[in-house]
Amino acid sequence: MGTSPEAYVLVLLCLFLSSGHGIQALSYDYYATTEARKYFLSCLKEPQRAQYGGGIIANPEFTNGIEGWSVFGKGAIKGGVSEDGNRYIIAHTRTHSLDSFSQKVQFEEGKIYSFSAWVQVKNGSENVVVVFRRASGELIPGGRVTAMDGCWSFLKGGIVANFSSGPADILFKSNNTDLEIWVDSVSLQPFTMEQWRSHQDQSIHKERKRKVKFQLSHPNKTMEGAIVSIKQTRPSFPFGCAMNNAIINNKNYQNWFASRFKYTTFVNEMKWYSTENVQGRENYADADAMLKFAEANGIHVRGHNIFWDDPKYQMDWVKNLSPDQLRVAAEKRIRSVVSRYKGKLIAWDVMNENLHFSFFEDKLGKDASAVYFALARQLDPGTTLFMNEYNTIEESGDGTANPANYIRKFKEILSYRGNDGVSAAIGLEGHFGPNQPNLAYIRASLDTLASTGWPIWLTEVDVKGSPNQAWHLEQVLREGHSHPGVKGIIMWALPAAAGSADTTLADINFKNTPSGDVVDKLFNEWKFKTTEIKADSEGSFEVSLFHGDYDITIKDQFTNSSTYLNYKLTEHDIRDTLQVHVNAF
């Protein structure tokens, strides 16, 4: 059995009335406390207790030796005991990557399964992947961790059972068969979609709103019965959408966009291949015109991107440069684009997709990304700098861009000289396929990434077409908005009038598609609805507000005199109930 921590993770308990099963108490892990963060990022001498008491796992903490577990493949398994008496399981004498221990569990179609375990390997360091093997032989990866010798690392992930109910084996995969795999405190907890949604709603209420108690006062009269009107003028959570150059001359597109979104990213117009397609001939006309439109309509813009590490998107003239010539051209590029838009943007995607690709690193050395982060900071100090990547939350089977690798790479960049204290953030593109999004893996990945303390943005959210596209988009957006580590969401979507896109929000006449209906519904749901309240006998009233800017009008119902107040509620005040005193009339 693992040791009980003094502070493991911040636990949020929500009660959910499950049809036919009464009230169930659900616990969800969060990274939020400083003490809790180390459990995601550090190796521990002893593992922690199994989440959810192990869920549906038999003998999850190996209290009864290896009872309930069996060998898989051609290796061997045995029990282990630490100096402190903690018991765990060991796979050894392995010849194949999947040779390990296993336990058969029953999956129910449509349920979400949160998985976790504590892992280490003997005599080395190696990625260990949890894999679910269905009766058909299909292997479904559910998460991974870089395990090390001498300490325990936390593997957190999961799957969604978008397949027929039936049995599956839990396996642990490691490509280095010379290493023993040690595992303890295994947990697999099922949730219905309704339970998952219930927690999302409660988390949004906790993380994006606050109770505010207003106390009205007047030196000469009571404020009982005063009528207070509250109107939200701007939400503080950035929820936006990409735009492209079709907006420059299309008034309908402009009206459609400006009426909905206050945050954006230009699809192509700031990229190097758009601004200098021919060497030495820079053209910022489209980007300038789009920025002018954004500024005129109070729309904040993310700079996307300074460099793209994918060789496929380099111009031929760039590919043909020598390393010295490329170094000169790249410095000219970054100085040109960043200086041009200095102070006008809320962010820069400094290096795009440099976990999957390494064009600049291959040509200019392994520190190329770090060098350009330092230069971007020098040219535009204070603007938040992102490393932007795909498949970190979308695909549990993509080992290249998994959360552990993302954190490792970003730490390397930020530890480079000149990058100390830089305003940095995690950029997760969020390009999802046509199938059910793996909400358990998304949440586990966000938990791991958020444990670093860096803010997270979902920067390019879209979902490929399917009959359930709108529903899948809603699930992704709700999962992002409900996670306390996520500080902004930009959708990679367009109206049909702007060209083709995986996710289209409006048809050629700017009428909503089903996905557009989802976006409008969420906008309405995630904002405070204008309301009137009467002050009580003490001249006070309490209201739950989303973070954002508000216009408040206080009217004396007898004299019709009024007081007007601008109020800003920020996420930084974490008190359960805020007290606001207002001297009226």
Q: For residue 12, what pLDDT band results from cuts at 50, 70 and 90?
A: very low
Domain extent at residue 516? 274-287+300-526
* Res. 38 pLDDT band, cuts 50 70 90: low
Active site residues: 353, 460
| 3-class state of residue 510 by DSSP | coil
CATH of the domain at 122: 2.60.120.260
Q: What pLDDT shows up at residue 15? A: 24
| E strand or H helix that includes residue 15 | strand 10-18
**CA–CA distances in Å: residue 535 to residues 230, 582, 584:** 13, 12, 12
Q: Can you tell me whether residue 91 is helix, strand or coil?
A: strand
Q: Backbone phi, then psi, for 186, in 5-degree steps?
A: -85, 140
**pLDDT for 136-187, tens place per residue?**
999 999 999 999 999 999 999 999 999 999 999 999 999 999 999 999 999 9
Alpha carbons 453 and 275: distance in angstroms, whole number: 34
Average pLDDT over the chain reads 91
Are 474 and 503 a contacting pair, CB within 8 Å? no
Say if CB 180 and CB 99 are below 8 A apart: no
Mean pLDDT of 64-79: 97
Contact call for residues 502 and 471 (beta carbons, < 8 A):
no
> What is residue 584's predicted lDDT score, i.e. its pLDDT?
61
Q: Is residue 378 part of a domain?
A: yes
Of 350, 320, 328, nearest to 337 by C-alpha is: 350
Domain identity same for 88 and 215: no
How would you class 532 by CB atoms within 10 Å of its CB: exposed for 0-12, middle for 13-18, buried for 19 or more?
exposed
Look at residue 579 in the predicted model and tell me its pLDDT.
65
Q: What mean pLDDT comes out for the span 318-341?
A: 98
Give residue 123's pLDDT band: very low, low, confident or very high (50, 70, 90).
confident
Tens-place pLDDT, residues 258-301? 999 999 999 999 999 999 999 999 999 999 999 999 999 999 99
Q: State the CB neighbour count (10 A cutoff) for residue 322.
A: 9
Mean pLDDT of 53-62: 98
Under the banding of pLDDT at 50, 70 and 90, the label for residue 412 is: very high
Domain count, the chain: 3
9 SS3 class: coil
Q: At 234, is the secondary structure helix, strand, or coil?
A: strand
Does residue 252 lie in a domain region? no
Residues 482 and 541 in one domain: no
* Same structural domain, 55 and 175: yes
Same domain, 452 and 401: yes
Give the residue, 336 or 556, on which the prediction is more confident: 336
Q: State residue 576's pLDDT score.
A: 58
Residues composing the chain: 585
Q: What pLDDT was estimated at residue 31?
A: 39
pTM of the model: 0.91
Domain-terminating residue out of 507, 526, 545: 526
Q: What is the pLDDT of residues 496-525, one digit of tens each?
A: 999 999 999 999 999 999 999 999 999 999
Residue 582: what pLDDT?
Answer: 66
Average pLDDT over residues 477-489: 98
**Residue 333 shares a structural domain with residue 453:** yes
**371 and 470, same domain (yes or no):** yes
Judgement on whether residues 551 and 517 belong to the same structural domain of the protein: no
The pLDDT score that the predictor gives to residue 273 is: 98
What pLDDT is recorded for position 35? 47
d(CA 476, CA 207): 17
Say yes or no: 506 and 423 in one domain.
yes
What are the backbone angles phi and psi of residue 190, rounded to the nearest 5°? -85, 150
> What is the SS3 string spanning 46-73?
CCECCHHHHECCCCCCCCCCCCCCEEEC
